[in-house]
Amino acid sequence: MQKHFIGGVIPGSIIAQDVYGNDGVLLIKKGSMFREQYIPRFIDAGVQEIFVEDNGTMTPQTINTIRKSLNIQDVIHEKTRTHAQNQIKKTMMKFKSVSNSDVQRIGKIVEDMIEQILDKKDFVFALTQLRSVDDYTYQHSVNVGVLSLIIGIDLSLTKEELKNLGMGAILHDIGKIMIPEEIIKKPSKLTLEEFAEVKKHTEYGYEILVQTDIEEEAARIALHHHEKYDGTGYCRGLRNTKIPLFARIVAVADVYDAMSNDRVYQKRFMPDKVFREITHLGDKHFDTEIMETFARHINIFPTGTGVILNSGHRGIVLYQNKLYPESPIVRVFLPKEQRAKRLYFDLDLSVNTKWSIKETF
């Protein structure tokens, strides 16, 4: 932490202490990023010096501050997402039962989700980072629901079909309420016996759902979402179009979200690696048409992703280039010895082709 006169603070620096004016009014909070336009306001408020972090490297605090400032938009409202997650949590915490009233409440949430996604003229899914690993199952269910609906909309499903798809997608893991918690939350590799027990969640889920008012095609998502297009999945070993359409859709969404988030036994993969892994699997694990439909709505390098360029510079993705998905616009941070009057510059990789993304972090 260093004290600097206002005029000497480099734009992009992270403010190390809350800044107050002479009248005691808070001007800006600790952790915010300093911008040139703040200078007149600070001077008018009687502030001549502030403390800033020593930004010799691109710190996690710097990255998080910039990510917050980007205001990344979700395709559904935060209120809807939170409501859905809480409802799923309540439903799955019930011991071995799901009531028709639970199904009706989830159906209403799905209808809201469909309307909000349809309201987006050009939607690209932005995965919301999990608040905790303990809440993984509930937020995973919402993410899979949203992703599945995006695919379903692109495939021109009717609203009734979308509702059934969304309900089955959100409840695809409901059978896990029958699996012992010590297995579900085990932080190490499962034994063969434990994995055999986990696989039963597909049949348990179907048995639970068919006892409610949920439509059969929605219930079958729970039974078949781990089937693979080449027949190597479970629980029936179905192949190709023998796997119900809705289950083929949810299979892609399920694997993508699982790989993209921290789980009790495995850290998440970076977005570009997940994208390439999903598309590489192609018609081995997934229906190719569904996989390609899905790929159109997922960014290889989502906004907010940390990147390392071929020059060795570190940066963060600001915006996408729709025609050149592997060449986004990046905020590149300068090492200490290369700075003059700024900490960073913005670079369009689709124009400056000598620069490219080497890896992500």
- The whole-number pLDDT of residue 127 equals 47
> Following CA atoms 259, 261, 262, 263 in sequence, which dihedral angle do they give, to the nearest 10 degrees?
-60
Measured CA to CA in angstroms, residue 241 lies from 249, 351, 359 at distances of: 12, 43, 37
Its sign, for the CA torsion 134, 85, 294, 352, is negative
* Separation of alpha carbons 333 and 65, rounded Å: 14
Within 8 A by CB and 6+ apart from 227, the residues are: 233, 234, 235, 236, 237, 238, 243, 247, 248, 251
Q: For the chain, how many helices (H) and strands (E)?
A: 13, 9
pTM (predicted TM-score): 0.80
* Separation of alpha carbons 331 and 306, rounded Å: 10
> Following CA atoms 86, 88, 92, 98 in sequence, which dihedral angle do they give, to the nearest 10 degrees?
120
- The whole-number pLDDT of residue 65 equals 67
- The whole-number pLDDT of residue 38 equals 86
Domains along the sequence of the chain with CATH: 2-54 (3.90.105.10), 78-295 (1.10.3210.10), 306-360 (no CATH)
Tell me: the pLDDT tens digits for 215-250? 999 999 999 999 999 999 999 999 999 999 999 999
Check: CB of residue 270 under 8 Å from CB of residue 360.
Answer: yes
- The whole-number pLDDT of residue 132 equals 43
pLDDT values of the chain reduced to their tens digit, one per residue, 361 residues: 788 888 777 777 788 899 999 888 999 888 887 877 888 888 889 998 898 876 545 566 666 666 666 767 778 888 998 999 999 988 888 756 788 999 999 999 999 999 999 987 566 654 444 334 456 778 899 999 999 999 999 999 999 999 999 999 999 999 999 999 899 989 888 999 999 999 999 999 999 999 999 999 999 999 999 999 999 999 999 999 999 999 999 999 999 999 988 777 778 888 899 999 999 988 799 999 999 999 988 889 988 888 999 999 888 998 888 889 999 999 888 777 666 667 788 999 999 989 999 999 8
